[in-house]
Structure 1
Amino acid sequence: MILYLASGSPRRVELLRQIAVPFSMLSAPDIDETPLPQEPPLEYVCRMAREKALAGAAGAGDLPDGAVLGADTAVVLGDEILGKPADEQQALAMLKALNGAEHQVMSALALLHRDHMAVRYSITRVQFRQLSEAQLQAYVATGEGADKAGGYGIQGLGAALVASLTGSYSGVVGLPLEQVVALLDQVGIRYWQPN
């Protein structure tokens, strides 16, 4: 059976390669990622993962004996979802809000196999260091967080923003591998495969 990844994220590609699971890329799904009114953050990321898997499968047409993986990740402060910043000013505002505080990173996965959809998620608590405004501005100036939820990337330069985390590091990057392998085991897709 073939795994299809419905995502354009290079970070998700790297994480799947890390566990040596053969997969094929589908075009990144073009869906509306606006949260619904009063939608709790966990429900939002789970819905997004399902919609991405469905859109990926629909866009690919006939996928014989394959499973489509959709994923979504949100940085959540209180009940507020911090998406990708629109510009440097918004990125700095997000980092100021996260500065010295604990937030959650919610990552959801949806695996569509035939007519069955399985959904899993992880919630990781991330504690930011207390940094000066000059330090936050210096990070924003690197441009690393421009395309990332919450305006930072823990797998890169943004690692220096973080004091600690409790939960899934790979979930913060964008694909909780402990949940991925559980889904792959359910449908018989093997990982740790030689190239």
Structure 2
Amino acid sequence: MLEWAEVPFEIMGADTERVIPCAFTALKKLLYILPADKALAIQQKSNSNKPIIAADTIVVLQNDIIGKPKSREDAVNILTRLAGNQHRAVTGVVILNAGKETSFANVTAVQFHPFDQSAN
């Protein structure tokens, strides 16, 4: 969106570890913690007064948080779970600007079509 609006920006990676506890139930809190950690890491790294926008997306299927796959086999298992089901892609955003912090989240319902795993 920034590019579309012709706002100059720089993309910087945040060196943060994305750890989601298995039994984490406070999704709203997690959607703030993950992007806030990224924003603070960038703020410390950049030594700049420029605004910082950080985001993190979590996939939720039937109240289970689906983490990033650890292997190809794990990716296939995740896609198999998602196939034929609706899940939520929940993105948390944190904006740091002029000493102020703003945060919000957006939920998108995603419907996966069934697929034949034997075609793999």
Asked if residue 91 in structure 1 is aligned to residue 92 in structure 2, the reply is no
Mapped contact 2:51–2:97 kept (Cα < 8 A)? yes
Normalising by structure 1, report the TM-score.
0.56
Asked if residue 71 in structure 1 is aligned to residue 55 in structure 2, the reply is yes
Residues 15-30 of structure 1 aligned to structure 2 (within 5 Å) = 15-26=1-12, 28-30=13-15
Aligned to 1:60: 46
Letter paired with 1:43? K
Tell me the CA shift for residue 18 of structure 1: 3.5
Tell me the CA shift for residue 85 of structure 1: 1.1
Aligned to 1:34: 19
Tell me the CA shift for residue 16 of structure 1: 3.5
Aligned length: 119
After superposition, the C-alpha distances for 1:75-122 in whole angstroms (9 at most, x for unaligned) are 111222222211110011001100100100001111001221100110
CA 1:47/1:116 → structure 2, altered by over 3 Å: closer, same or farther? Answer: same
Mapped contact 1:40–1:79 kept (Cα < 8 A)? no
Aligned to 1:142: none
Structure 1 SS opposite 2:77: helix
Asked if residue 102 in structure 1 is aligned to residue 86 in structure 2, the reply is yes
Asked if residue 51 in structure 1 is aligned to residue 51 in structure 2, the reply is no
After superposition, the C-alpha distances for 1:161-187 in whole angstroms (9 at most, x for unaligned) are xxxxxxxxxxxxxxxxxxxxxxxxxxx
User: Which aligned runs of 4 or more in structure 1 are off by greater than 3 angstroms?
Assistant: none
Normalising by structure 2, report the TM-score.
0.87
Structure 2: stretches of 5+ with no match in the other structure: none
Aligned to 2:105: 121
CA 1:16/1:84 → structure 2, altered by over 3 Å: closer, same or farther? Answer: farther
Mapped contact 1:105–1:125 kept (Cα < 8 A)? yes
| Percent pairwise identity | 24
Structure 1: stretches of 5+ with no match in the other structure: 1-14, 138-195
More helix per residue: 1 or 2?
1
Letter paired with 1:57? Q
